[in-house]
Amino acid sequence: MSIQNPVFIPGPTNIPEVVRKACDMATIDHRSPAFGEILHPARDGVKQVLKGKSAEVFIFPSTGTGGWETAITNTLSPGDKVLVARNGMFSHRWIDMCQRHGLKVQIVETRWGEGISAARYGEVLAADTAGEIRAVLATHNETATGVLSDIGAIRQAMDVARHPAMLFVDGVSSIGSMDFRFDDWGVDVAVTGSQKGFMLPAGLAIVGFSPKAMMATKTARLPRTFFDVADMGAGYANNAYPYTPPVGLINGLKLTCDMLLDEGLENVFARHHRIATGVRRAVRAWGLELCAEGPAVYSNTVSAILTPDGINGTDIVTHGANKYGVAFGVGLGEVAGRLFRIGHLGSLTDVMMLSGIATAEMCMVDLGMEIELGSGVAAAQEYFRRNDGLAQKDAA
């Protein structure tokens, strides 16, 4: 077993060596211009990654889940209604959080494996003539099922219904890896974390607020202290936090934003698309199916692979860890045991991915599945050979 192997879980992702070094800092005064020289470029970098010129960026010591809490507590009041689709474990958890905060939650139940139906959202919004729905929630990439939803289509449905609700998007496993357009899609709050597309350790909740969401903070009555964006903004104005910031992580974020922007966001997205396509070719060669219902919703950051009857997907993951020292993702919630997941986001190259595909193959053969060793690797190799070029040199 080797701890030198890359991980193939959909977060936390592999951390480039230069990023680990950037996070490892001597203590500085965290209420000083020296900290401002780390904080403000990091916030500006996030803004660019979000494609959000209008976004006000806040960075909390937390994780993506804290980002959800930041979104709802700063903009909503007890009893406010939100509209949300449930199509996997992460959307389910966001719903649970809304309910625990005393919000009224209108849920659009969606089969796990399908994307959010913009049409269904549109119908619900059109029927809400009293304008009770204050926010529309959408998980851009359902990490549990490997399903990407169309946020632009959701914005369009909201506009067609002429509904004034805010749009909150969980982009935890998409931002920095797949196209995300804060301004163009009229996103009001975007939520992500440090340990996925940003290639950092876990520890930061990263959010962008639109001017409309900032307005909503003035009247929102849900209790908030640690995640209060007004307190945070006041801190930023003095190169500080309302409390002690994780300076090293923020320094790492400043670097990873530069890395993503230097590679070029479109190149980053193309790299993720290419690596994901290689994985999908392998899955097809194995004769297996994805949980995602079809190409329109295929995720370029994670593939959830259904296992045949009699094969528990979790056993593949356990075996990979024990025998080969390689981490894959288990099925969560409703799909536990029925699939395993290959994460392919963050700091990853074609070559690294081939090792993950090869290992998955060994695991499946070891567990008695009728798969030919090398079949998935060969399918991915064929694809990678013909689709070389884009930004490979910077990808690691």
Ligand X SMILES: *Cc1c(COP(=O)(O)O)cnc(C)c1O
Per CB under 6 A, residues contacting ligand X are 11, 63-65, 90, 139, 141, 143, 170, 172-173, 193, 202
Given the complex with ligand X, which of 319 and 344 has the nearer CB atom? 344
Q: Which residue is nearest to ligand X (CB)?
A: 64
Report d(CA 304, CA 324) in Å as an integer. 20
Which residue type, as a one-letter code, is found at position 349? Answer: T
Name the minimum Å distance from CB 164 to ligand X. Answer: 26
How many other CB atoms are there within 10 angstroms of residue 196's CB atom? 28
Given the complex with ligand X, which of 172 and 283 has the nearer CB atom? 172
Crossing angle for the helix pair 89-100 and 64-75, to the nearest 10 degrees: 40
Given the complex with ligand X, which of 122 and 193 has the nearer CB atom? 193
Given the complex with ligand X, which of 121 and 383 has the nearer CB atom? 121
Buried residues in 95-118 as b, exposed as e (16+ CB within 10 A): bebbeebebebebbebebbbbbbb
Name the minimum Å distance from CB 74 to ligand X. Answer: 17
Given the complex with ligand X, which of 170 and 188 has the nearer CB atom? 170
Pairing of the two strands 81-86 and 104-109: parallel
Name the minimum Å distance from CB 171 to ligand X. Answer: 8
Report d(CA 307, CA 289) in Å as an integer. 8
Report d(CA 188, CA 175) in Å as an integer. 15
User: What is the phi/psi pair of residue 222, to 5°?
Assistant: -65, 140
Given the complex with ligand X, which of 165 and 332 has the nearer CB atom? 332
Which residue type, as a one-letter code, is found at position 199? Answer: M
Distances 325 to 43, 322, 359, 389 between C-alpha atoms, Å: 36, 6, 10, 30
User: What is the phi/psi pair of residue 104, to 5°?
Assistant: -85, 125
Name the minimum Å distance from CB 93 to ligand X. Answer: 7
Report d(CA 250, CA 222) in Å as an integer. 28
What pairs with residue 86 in β-bridges? 109
Radius of gyration of the chain (CA): 21
Report d(CA 329, CA 307) in Å as an integer. 13
Given the complex with ligand X, which of 168 and 241 has the nearer CB atom? 168
How many other CB atoms are there within 10 angstroms of residue 381's CB atom? 17
Name the minimum Å distance from CB 92 to ligand X. Answer: 10
Given the complex with ligand X, which of 141 and 239 has the nearer CB atom? 141
Report d(CA 106, CA 98) in Å as an integer. 10
Name the minimum Å distance from CB 10 to ligand X. Answer: 6
Name the minimum Å distance from CB 143 to ligand X. Answer: 3
Name the minimum Å distance from CB 59 to ligand X. Answer: 13
Given the complex with ligand X, which of 239 and 299 has the nearer CB atom? 299
Q: Give me the residue label for tokens 């995640």.
A: 227
Furthest CA-CA distance within the chain? 62
Name the minimum Å distance from CB 5 to ligand X. Answer: 21
